[in-house]
Structure 1
Amino acid sequence: MNKLVLILLAIFLPPVAVFLKSGAGKDLLINILLCILFYVPGIIHALWVCTK
């Protein structure tokens, strides 16, 4: 998938971007928990997952 699209999704819909990059696994669960607790750490985690 295009990296630019993943980065834009990571900013606006972090769990969707993580799901598209790594599937349904521990990264998705971590990202959902981060987005529920605090939205900004969820964005940072999604950007990290999508760019690694």
Structure 2
Amino acid sequence: MEIIRIIISILVPPIGAFLKVGLGLQFWVNLLLTILGYFPGLVHVIWLLARKR
């Protein structure tokens, strides 16, 4: 499941954020960053996937 989440996160960062944290604050931050530019959203979702919770 983790490999699929990583692939989806690279293609569409907000969906990857949703799969990791649901409809929380981090999802909305990622959606805003992705609207402002693909790269900031991608960096944010990689950070979300890399951090341990």
The TM-score bracket by the shorter chain reads 0.7 to 0.9
| Aligned-residue RMSD, C-alpha | 0.9
User: Of the two structures, which has the highest relative contact order with CA contacts closer than 8 Å and spacing of 6 or more?
Assistant: 1
Q: Return structure 1 stretches of 4+ with deviation > 4 angstroms.
A: none
Residue deviations 1:23-43 (CA, integer Å, cap 9, x gap): 001100100000000110101
Q: Which residue number in structure 2 is paired with residue 40 of structure 1?
A: 39
Q: Which residue number in structure 1 is paired with residue 4 of structure 2?
A: 5
TM norm structure 1: 0.88
How many residues are treated as equivalent by the alignment?
Answer: 51
- Gap runs ≥5 in structure 1: none
TM norm structure 2: 0.86
- Gap runs ≥5 in structure 2: none
